[in-house]
Amino acid sequence: MESFIARQPIFDTHKNVVAYELLFRDGTVNANAVKQLPDGTQASYHVMTNALTLFGMEKMTSGKRAFINTTGDVLIGQLPTAFSPQSIVIEILEDVPAEPEILDACRQLKQQGYTIAMDDVIHGESRNDMVVLSDIIKIDFMDTTPAEQAELARQFDKMGKTLLAEKVETHDVFEYARKLGFTLFQGYFFARPEVLVRKEIRANKLNSLRLITRLQTTEPDIGALEDIVKNDVAMSYRLLRYINSAFFSFRREIESIRQAIVLLGNREFRKWATLIAMSGLTDDKPEELLVTGLIRARFLEQLAGEIGFLQEKDNLFLMGVFSILDGATDQPFEIIFDEIPVHPAIREALLTHSGPFAPVMTALWAFEKGDWSSFSQFINNYVELSSNLTEMYFNAVLWANQSMAAIPKKMPHR
């Protein structure tokens, strides 16, 4: 049985990631496996077991808290106590009844210091006793109206609850929820352009975009690659710092761009130089934006060989990185691609959701959002997959976290 597991970031009002929700589905079912498996307990158990034994909670969540969905049986069995109270938030699903045995289990967990979140609370919530025990109230912004959101915010703010806005997809919704008093946010608003009107791309970002373009279009010539990077002092500094970090662990220090190209090879050098240029694009953005791009890039690169795209693995890697360009520049893709040329298949997939790479990108977006029905439809075309997709995704998360830790920040002032 193939299990899919993914993580969705949870942000604070400053767009800093404070937690991740871990999502599990059984790839053999179509839609919401948490409800289709026996009362969801098996799904919760798999998440907990994988987090504890297969991956390690610290690595899966980068040391941040994990929101884990739970059912009545999970609560009664006190299964969350396998984790420390500081490492998880117990998220109670919307279909868990407020029965005496379940309420007693919640009280016991609260006494041990665990934080409880109530999922998908709606107006006129009937589980009042369970709501009272909860610390965090999650409200789905796609399934409620603005009037309902305002009323729920007023009601639970009076009760001293922490409010979490779920499925926040745009910055306008993020700002609205923040004004209502929500302090936690879940969704992909951070990866979308903040402003959708045409405006100039800032000069430093435009330089980074053009640098990325030249790295992709330049023939594999050491001299040409060296000139591209050396003409940007900040780029040279950050790249050499990065290549000399523990992430690469070279035995001797690399002192020049030419030496780096020779040791890494043209193809690998261009990949790492592109990542450094992308990090410059996201200096003023939430760190999770670049993390998302890196996870996508690595996941697609690993997936390439499994789905018959081995010859295109470099382009799939770039598509993952480039998929955050709209959020990084605050511009829609049609404007970005007017400024820089990209591989036609990448352009079609990101701009019009068409072309040979479109199914791969669509499947990746489905994976991130926990839309396992759509993802399964894609994967079912490749039933001979030899790798465990969950492990592949975890490896991408680990690689992205290690890469981020090694990427140097801005050049120090002299």
Number of compact structural domains in the chain: 2
Last residue of a domain, one of 191, 223, 244: 191
In a domain, 306, yes or no: yes
In a domain, 319, yes or no: yes
CATH of the domain at 271: 1.10.3210.10
In a domain, 104, yes or no: yes
pTM: predicted TM-score of the whole model, two decimal places: 0.83
DSSP state of 245: S
Q: Do 328 and 269 have their domain in common?
A: yes
In a domain, 198, yes or no: no
In a domain, 273, yes or no: yes
Angle separating helix axes 222-230 and 266-281, nearest 10 degrees:
20
Q: Do 50 and 170 have their domain in common?
A: yes
Last residue of a domain, one of 163, 191, 219: 191
Q: Do 54 and 174 have their domain in common?
A: yes
Q: Do 359 and 214 have their domain in common?
A: yes
Q: Do 367 and 322 have their domain in common?
A: yes
Q: Do 161 and 263 have their domain in common?
A: no
Q: Which residue is associated with the tokens 């992909």?
A: 188
Q: Which residue is associated with the tokens 């790479």?
A: 357
Which amino acid is residue 352, in one-letter code?
T
Q: Do 142 and 251 have their domain in common?
A: no
In a domain, 258, yes or no: yes
pLDDT 10s per residue in the chain (414 long)?
456 678 899 999 999 999 999 887 554 443 343 334 444 677 777 777 767 665 677 888 888 999 998 989 899 999 899 899 999 999 998 888 889 999 999 999 999 999 999 998 876 665 688 888 999 999 999 999 999 999 999 999 999 999 999 999 988 999 999 999 999 999 988 887 765 444 556 666 777 777 787 777 666 678 888 888 888 787 888 889 888 988 888 888 999 999 988 888 888 888 888 888 888 888 888 999 999 999 999 999 999 988 889 999 989 999 999 999 998 888 889 888 887 778 999 999 999 999 999 999 999 998 888 888 888 888 878 766 666 787 888 899 999 998 888 888 665 444
Q: Do 136 and 257 have their domain in common?
A: no
Q: Do 106 and 140 have their domain in common?
A: yes
The phi, psi pair for 230, rounded to 5°, reads -65, -25
User: Which is nearest to 20 in space by CA: 137, 135, 186, 168?
Assistant: 186
Q: Which residue is associated with the tokens 């373009």?
A: 213
Q: Do 139 and 256 have their domain in common?
A: no
Furthest-apart CA pair in the chain: how many Å?
A: 73
In a domain, 140, yes or no: yes
In a domain, 328, yes or no: yes
Domain membership of residue 334 as a residue range: 203-406
**Angstrom distance (rounded) from CA 295 to CA 315:** 15
Q: Do 181 and 300 have their domain in common?
A: no
CATH of the domain at 176: 3.20.20.450
Which DSSP string do the residues of 81-109 spell out, in sequence order? GGS-TTTEEEEE-TT----HHHHHHHHHH
Q: Do 224 and 134 have their domain in common?
A: no
Cα radius of gyration (the chain): 23
Last residue of a domain, one of 191, 214, 245: 191
